[in-house]
Every structure is written in C-alpha cells, then in structure tokens.
Structure 1
C-alpha cells in the first residue's frame, strides 16, 4: 500500500509515541494511516471503538488492506447499553500486555459525564497504546477537546475539566437557572502548544474543484410555521432547553416538504443530471424523496454522515439544514475525498423564513442554535424568526 505525503508524515510523527490523535479531515485516509501506525507498534491486540453504523465499513477496510493483527471492533453506542460487553472488553484488555485502543469519530466521547465516555476512558487507562481519529474534533467549542486529550493521557493537559474551562473559556454561570453561557475562547496558542506534539492535522487538498451554491426558494405555505412560531414566542420566557429544541424542530419540519422546496429540487436535478445525493433530517422527508427521486441516493444526517465512501456521486443537495457544523462537514466529505476524480457541487437549499438564516449563522460561527437564541432577547427573536 502506498501512503500519501500526509499519511506518511502522520506515521513519521506519531509512530514513536504510545498515544496520538489523527485530526485528519474526512477523505484524507485516516483509517489507512491508523493501520500503518498500529503495524509499526509492538501491540499484541487491537480494540477498535467506532460508531455502530460504521462497523462493517471498518471491517471492509481491514480486509481491503489485509490487516493481520488480532483485533475486535465494537460500536461506541453499545458500551452505554451493555454492562456485559463492557466487562468483557475490560477482561480482554487486561489479558493482553500491549493493547492498542483506537477510538474513531472521537467527538462522540466529548461528553465527559456520559456512560460510554467514562467506560472508554477506563478501557483507555488499561491500554498500552491509544489513538483517536476525527475529521472534526470540535463541534461547538474547545471544551470538546478535554475528554479526547484526557483519553490519550492526563499528562498532556495536566488539568482537570474545570481548570481547563477556566484557562481557555470565558463563560458566565447562572445558578438560579442552572445554566452556563460560553462567550469566548482564549489562550488558544497555549492550548495548541500542549497538544501539538501528539496531534497530526491534515487538510484535504484535491486537484478537483468544489462548488458551494446557496439556492433560495420561497415557502409556499407558512401557516403552520407561523402558528408554531407564535406558540414558541409566547412560551419562551419559561421554556426549558429541551422544549426550545423541540419547537425549532417543529418549525423546520413544517416546511420540510413544502412545494416550493420540491420545485427547487426538481430544477436542480434537471439542470445537474449527474449522480446526486440528497441529505435531509426527517424520516418522512427521506421516505418521500426516495419515492420521488429513485435516481438519487437519499441520506439523513448522523447515520448518513459517517463511514460511507461515495465518490461515484458528483453532486450533493442539502434539502434540510442541520445546525451541527460537524455533521455538515462529515456529509460533504462523503464525496469530496481521496479517490474522487470529478469536480463536485454542493447545493444548500434556503427557505425565506428567519429560522433558516439563524441556522446559517450558527454554521458560519460553528455554534449551536441553542446558544445563539440564548444570546437574543425575546424582541430580537421575534424579528429574527
């Protein structure tokens, strides 16, 4: 197997270490890089922890690259649901002297209080080698990095979570509401100096063009949207976070299959007849699009963003917006990746309501829609939405 320049550089940097992070953008070949790092080690067993839906994809990669070392692949979600599996893996790790533990899509362990995170941290503490893989290691702010670095080794940051937060984040805590609002990040150069020796960060550079086009459409019927919006604004003062998110989902779902949007998709597919992927958020949208456009591949965010190599497709239409930057970038990298030989086009459908503009703002700033709304007064929200 021939490695790219970036892949070889990653191996050269990390092969002499027992811990490391491959923050390589989707499409740059981080799986093959990880396998070469493992093969360069003295590991006697490998434990791969991956998103459940990508288990078969990894198995196919291991077969493709003729990986010979003994290994086991488990889904990260399974560690939350099965005590038996957790104890079984603990026993297996302890049985080997030099376990090599690999956590793919390590952003999934960003929540330090989640059961799966705590169990992965414990398994990691017993493993001789530890490696994390992610194309987007930060989805919201640099707090996402703490558990990832702590998994590799507490000696990297040498600070507990609260100390890390105080060192790198400007925030304000509201004890009466039990909420923390994160305002800004600082001391980033210092943070980088701490993690840089253990991290390889590769950017995807392909000799093909990438077109990003915002496509605006008019929503033909906004009655349901306006009704949900009115209820939302009325209840806003005493609203909990979970209720807030439910309202935004309802508003977006109200126009997910609007006739104005469907006409827009029809025209795009007519003008761009090449193989196309449609990304959406909701099951009803997915079912409708599959029936109406059998020539296209229809995927949902989350499951559809991980582990698939779809270089046969040239175009991607984002039918519904996502306010998760990491999901959006993962989706794009399904076709804009190593092995793609054709120019690619990304079309972002944008309806003429305020919620769509707010989602775009969150993506540009890489913040959550919940945080953006918390920063606004009720009057401002009424004008925005």
Structure 2
C-alpha cells in the first residue's frame, strides 16, 4: 500500500531524534523562529508539507530560463520518494545525509524521502565541501560537493549526484572508491530525478540512464525525450532534451534542442562538442553561435576568465565544421544556485560588455 502524504513514517528521525507528528510541527516552528538560514528553510518546508493542503509550491532551478514557481501534488512527491527507495532498496531506519539547498526540488525531495521512507536523516548546512565523520547509507550532492569531499566520501554507501554536469576528470577520480555513485536525470517538473546513470562499479564505459520503477520513456518527432510517469503526472512530460533511446527504460542524454547550432546546413550539438575537448580545458567554457551571412550560424566558443586565448591543439578532437570561428571571454558566467551555467543569460551579458 502506498503511504499518504499526511502520514509521517514512525521510523523517521531528524538529526538523530525521533519526533511524533505533532512534535515535528513544533520543531519546524522552532527552526523558522530561531534556526540558521538553512534551518529556517527546512522548517518552512516541513511546516508547508504538514498543512492541510494536498498541494505544495516548488521552484525550478532556472537553468533554462528564469526560475518559476508552480504547484505540485504532495502525493506525487511521495510517489517519487518511493520510486527512489525501491530503486536503491532503501528501508526504514537507513541513514541518509541531507546537504543540499532546501529551496529547490532536489533538497526538498531529500526531506520527503526521509519523512516517507522512514530514514534517519541528518540535515547539515549545504556547503561546497562536506566533511563526513559518520557512515550513511544514502546521500545526494552536487558535482562540486563531490569534488571537494572526495577525501571522506567513502562514508557514504550510495550517492546520487545532480544539478550540474559532471566532468570526465571527476568520473575518473571516483572509479576506485567504495561509494556507488549515480548521476541523476530530472527537473523540477519531474519532482527530482526520473533516471539514474551508474558512474562507477560498472563494466560499461558509458552506462545509459535507467528509469525509476513505473516510468518509461520515448522521443517525439524532434528527437526529444518524452517521459511517461503516471504516478508523477497525469500527462506525458515532453522535454527539450535530445536523447538516444535504447529501450523504454534506458536512454542517453545528447543535449538541449534549444542549443542546436545549424551551421551551413549541418546541425551541431554543443554538449557533444564540449565533451570532446573537456579534458583539454582548464576553465569553464561552452559552445554557442552567432549569425553569419554565409553559414547562417557560425560556431563560437565562450570561455570564463580574463583571456580569450585557447591553444589550437585543444580543438584537434573536433571535426572541421565544429571548430569555433571566434572565441570570446567573460570574467564570470551566469549560473544557477547549483553551479549550472546559464548559457543564454551569459551570452546576453557578453553582448552588453
């Protein structure tokens, strides 16, 4: 039987303490009134979760536009939590670490998983480096947090990573650690992740994303992912993510249809081009385009920093038509709170300089 959103699991613990349902409301109120900034947000979410409304307001990350708020069913979030629990075989009493910002869906869903699955949840301040001093069965981090916390990350058995791209260099660093690390695919509209990709402990060089239980995928006539998740949404969720589909439960992400460059009639995916030279770059960058009277659109490279100088050998892995016709630099990229680059806003900022 699927639990209802208004029932807190009797095994749930928050920072090592068990609270009856009414007591938890008092804890939330205490966090709101007297807690640190991140604790106030925890209190706000718990308070809103435990009110009488079947809906709750969440906010998108803003990675593909301005952040927006929308209402979702609490029961759908419960269903998402159960799917993750089933995928990883999490059970009541398992320990979990919450070190993500609470004001976005990834952090909110960590709380819901604790409340519904009966996890013993430790909530800590969401810093860029997390110092782990005890063992956990489950945790979620951003790529930056994982990078900065490698010296103690083996205290975690299962780690999910999302919110921003993960570099090949970081993937190489985690190949021989005991922690099982998974990259997530999802968005606010899918109530956190709907797909998980193994990054280590696998014989496959590039394992595909596998969907959570009861979720299937297909693609539309643009080649973009369509998600069928009846427990999360009554209607199929149509995305702007170009994908390769291997089965109804396995896929690979190729890039955003919004970012496709049509140069001389050849369609180029910036994300795939970026992957080719990622190991050669020592700073953040992305490919974009500019209008061109001959090609229609010409490929440009935007780099972060005080110089636009890039060694020609960096582009040897690119095909001729993929190589940038111009290179621009900008001191600092526009980004989301999780560190994901906001391409369109960065380009707009660049044009104003």
Question: What TM-score do the two structures reach when normalised by structure 1?
Answer: 0.32
Which has the larger strand fraction?
Answer: 2
Higher helix share: 1
Answer 1 or 2: higher relative contact order, Cα 8 Å, separation at least 6: 1
Question: Which structure has the larger Rg?
Answer: 1
